[in-house]
Homo-oligomer: A and B are copies of this chain.
Amino acid sequence: MDLSKELAKYSQALTYEELPPEVVEFTKLCILDYFGSAIAGSNKVPIKMISELVEEMGGLEQASLFTGGKSSAVNAALLNGAASHIVELDDIHKGSIIHAATVVIPAALAVAQWKKLSGKDLITAVVIGYEVCFRIGEAVSPSHYYYWHNTATCGTFGAAIAAAKLLNLTEEEMVFALGNAGTQAAGLWEFIVDGAMTKQLHSGKAAMNGLLAALLAQKGFTGPTKILEGDRGFFKAMSEQYDVSKITEGLGKEFKILENSFKIHASCRHTHHAIDLLIEVFKERKPSLEEIESIIVKSYKAAIDITDNDNPTTEYAAKFSLQFCSALAILKGSAGLFDFNETNLWDDQIRQLLKKVKVSIDPDINANYPEQWGATVEVALANGETIQKQSDFPKGDPENAVTSEELVEKFTTMTNDISATKKEQIIRDILALELIENTETLMTRIS
Using a CB–CB cutoff of 8 Å, the interface residues on chain A facing chain B are: 45-46, 49-50, 52-53, 56-60, 62, 72-75, 146-148, 176, 179-180, 182-194, 196-198, 201-202, 205, 209, 212, 215-216, 219-227, 230-234, 236-237
Contact = CB atoms under 8 A, between A and B. Distances in A.
Nearest to A195: B222
A53 B212 contact: yes
18 contacts: A49-B216, A56-B60, A57-B73, A58-B58, A58-B60, A180-B196, A182-B188, A183-B202, A188-B233, A188-B234, A190-B230, A190-B231, A191-B223, A193-B224, A194-B222, A194-B223, A194-B224, A201-B223
Contact of A185 (B50, B146, B186, B225): B186
A78 to B, nearest CB: 9
A97 to B, nearest CB: 14
A216 B184 contact: no
A201 B221 contact: yes
Contacts of A49: 216, 219-221
A45 B220 CA distance: 9
A220 B52 CA distance: 11
B188 A201 contact: no
B183 A191 contact: yes
Given A188-B234, A191-B224, A201-B216, 19 more contacts: A46-B221, A49-B221, A53-B212, A56-B60, A57-B75, A58-B59, A176-B196, A179-B198, A180-B196, A182-B188, A190-B224, A190-B227, A191-B223, A193-B225, A193-B226, A193-B232, A197-B222, A197-B223, A205-B212
Nearest to A152: B183
A189 B232 contact: yes
Contacts of A193: 224-226, 230-232
Contact of A183 (B62, B72, B188, B232): B188
Contacts of A180: 196, 198, 201
A43 to B, nearest CB: 16
A382 B305 CA distance: 65
A305 B428 CA distance: 57
Contact of A224 (B53, B62, B196, B232): B196
Contacts of A216: 49-50, 53, 201
B219 A53 contact: yes
A46 B222 CA distance: 9
| Residue from A187, A196, A197, A198 having most chain B Cβ neighbours under 10 A | A198
Contacts of A187: 183-184
A318 B326 CA distance: 60
Contact of A219 (B52, B147, B230, B233): B52
